[in-house]
Structure 1
Amino acid sequence: MTSLDLDPSEILERYNVKMEKAMTPDDAAAELYPKDDLIRPIAESIYEGEEDDTVEGLKKAIKAGKDPIALIDDALMVGMGVVTKLYDEGIIFLPNVMMSADAMLDGIDFCKSQAKEPPVSKGKIVCHVAEGDVHDIGKSIVSALLRANGFDVVDLGRDVPVDEVIEAVKKEKPMMVTGTALMTTTMYAFKAVNDRLLEAGIKVPFQCGGGAVNQDFVSTYELGVYGEEAADAPKMAEAILAGADLGKLKEQFHQH
């Protein structure tokens, strides 16, 4: 049998190339949604970035007997999990993630408003974008994921002066500080924050991420813990709650 005898259409069918080419982001998301009839619409609305639909879905689920606070983990975080998975795989992009994060945060606020008792905060975290850097998408995702996981976030915004970061840490006494930097010219602000905190006798874990920094750079300062992905921030916070000290965090989240 020669190559001329092969039917190309059969090869395409056999290796599923047609299906791969035809699969849209919506199709990919549909394969990841939960099966529960009450939870699925909420996850869909998070993926679509529809705040109103998210709240409507939550209202129906609560009316059907679902616990408002449990829905944060069981529905909102599940929907956001679909979004972050597709983003990690390059199927959707940052604007989609930001719309979804907004819908998720609206959903969290609604769930908290419906709870008989407000959820107990797991701890406080100060988040900021490095001085001189105005790119705040990464910081916004980090903040959203931390809030979704039950942490109080003090969001200082973008292009935050080192002095302002230090003052916020002294005032708020957080369990962790996060910083993001996209421009390489701004990443040295992290070293300044590290040194100033040490001078003040404050040894709080300082989680750093963003396109400007890497493991090697963050390893050069004492308080620095490198977060390659936004989702590392809540994982680090949970690790601190579980008793991990700075040394353990550096070891646990070291990227080889």
Structure 2
Amino acid sequence: MLIVDKEGILIRYNVKMEKSMTPEEAAAELYPKEELYKPIAEAIFEGEEDDVIEGLEAAIAAGKDPIALIDDALMVGMKVVTDLYDQGVIFLPNVMMSADAMLEGIEFCKSQSTETPVQKGKVICMVAEGDVHDIGKSIVAALLRANGYEVIDLGRDVPSAEALAAVKEHKPLMMTGTALMTTTMYAFKEVNDLLVESGITMPFACGGGAVNQDFVSTYSLGVYGEEAADAPKMADAILAGADVAALRAKFHNH
């Protein structure tokens, strides 16, 4: 007789939450309590760019630093969205609308500040060859820019040879790759091999729905990023002297 361990079955969807709560109610539980930040996070969840700007204007008028609002309000609001997406409560179109609203907010915050963040270094961002889904890459690029990195955005469906040429031209401290389709993730191995053949040892941080840690660990420069927010943390670690092995020790689940 086959005995099924029901407790051991992983459920991607938060069924309890879905049954008892609407997405709006689920989001409401995750918003920041700070009264100036909450409307901004709510506007990002709803994908309402004008409301995001209004919320930022109110916070700046109340004395909040525009650059600090990127981390304290915009990123917090985007995390609500990505958390609910991971739980299956909301879907990719919602995430795309929210990301657009967040990016508008970041540009507004930068325009309101006399402070020009010192560029820490260059990072190349790309989507695997054959893959046209660039939402993950766009979020990674936005987070890196918000954290003071100059981003060279190669876009989506990037041929491996083009990625290599960009690395040779810009000499970044890191490259990120995202893939949403399992049929395209093997392009990362090809990029890795081209880099190695050229004597390049720069970390190649890969993530996205199609990619897992086991796969990324099979190629020598690969570092797995579970969340978009890992990208700036990895870049900071590289600036502090971390190589591929050190990044794997820090960011991989062992």
Fold shared, TM-score > 0.5 on shorter chain: yes
Deviations 1:206-254 (A, max 9, x none): 0112343332322222111122333332332232233322111122222
Q: Which residue of 1 aligns with 2:168?
A: 170
- Compared CA separation, residues 170 and 52, structure 1 to 2 (3 A): same
Whole-angstrom CA distance in 2 between matches of 1:19 and 1:233 = 29
Normalising by structure 1, we get a TM-score of: 0.85
- Compared CA separation, residues 214 and 206, structure 1 to 2 (3 A): same
SS at match of 1:60: helix
Q: Which residue of 2 aligns with 1:212?
A: 210
The amino acid of 1:65's aligned partner reads G
- Compared CA separation, residues 213 and 37, structure 1 to 2 (3 A): closer
- Compared CA separation, residues 96 and 19, structure 1 to 2 (3 A): closer
Deviations 1:48-105 (A, max 9, x none): 1111111111111112211111111111111112212222222222211111111111
Assess if the C-alpha contact under 8 Å between 1:105 and 1:148 holds in 2.
no
The amino acid of 1:188's aligned partner reads Y
Whole-angstrom CA distance in 1 between matches of 2:147 and 2:26 = 25
The amino acid of 1:218's aligned partner reads V
Whole-angstrom CA distance in 1 between matches of 2:93 and 2:105 = 19
Whole-angstrom CA distance in 2 between matches of 1:131 and 1:63 = 45
Deviations 1:167-223 (A, max 9, x none): 111122211101122333333322221122122222110011234333232222211
Assess if the C-alpha contact under 8 Å between 1:135 and 1:181 holds in 2.
yes
- Compared CA separation, residues 229 and 65, structure 1 to 2 (3 A): closer
Unaligned 5+ segments in structure 1 are 1-16
Assess if the C-alpha contact under 8 Å between 2:17 and 2:26 holds in 1.
no
- Compared CA separation, residues 19 and 112, structure 1 to 2 (3 A): closer
Unaligned 5+ segments in structure 2 are 1-14
Q: Once structures 1 and 2 are overlaid, which stretch shifts more, 54-63 or 238-247?
A: 238-247
Matching residue within 95, 98, 103 for 1:97: 95
Q: Which residue of 2 aligns with 1:140?
A: 138
SS at match of 2:183: helix
Superposed, which structure 2 residues align to 1:179-198 within 5 Å?
Answer: 179-198=177-196
Structure with bigger gyration radius = 1
| Aligned structure 1 segments of 4 or more residues deviating by more than 4 angstroms | 17-20
Q: Which residue of 2 aligns with 1:3?
A: none
Q: Which residue of 2 aligns with 1:14?
A: none
- Compared CA separation, residues 186 and 90, structure 1 to 2 (3 A): closer
Identity value in percent? 77
Matching residue within 240, 243, 249 for 1:242: 240
The amino acid of 2:177's aligned partner reads G
Question: Shift in Å at residue 20 of structure 1?
Answer: 6.9
Matching residue within 213, 221, 226 for 2:224: 226
Q: Which residue of 1 aligns with 2:19?
A: 21
Whole-angstrom CA distance in 1 between matches of 2:218 and 2:189 = 9
SS at match of 1:28: helix
Assess if the C-alpha contact under 8 Å between 2:141 and 2:151 holds in 1.
yes
Give RMSD over aligned pairs.
Answer: 2.2
Q: Which residue of 1 aligns with 2:61?
A: 63
Q: Which residue of 2 aligns with 1:149?
A: 147
Normalising by structure 2, we get a TM-score of: 0.85
Assess if the C-alpha contact under 8 Å between 1:44 and 1:79 holds in 2.
yes
- Compared CA separation, residues 63 and 213, structure 1 to 2 (3 A): closer
Whole-angstrom CA distance in 2 between matches of 1:196 and 1:20 = 45
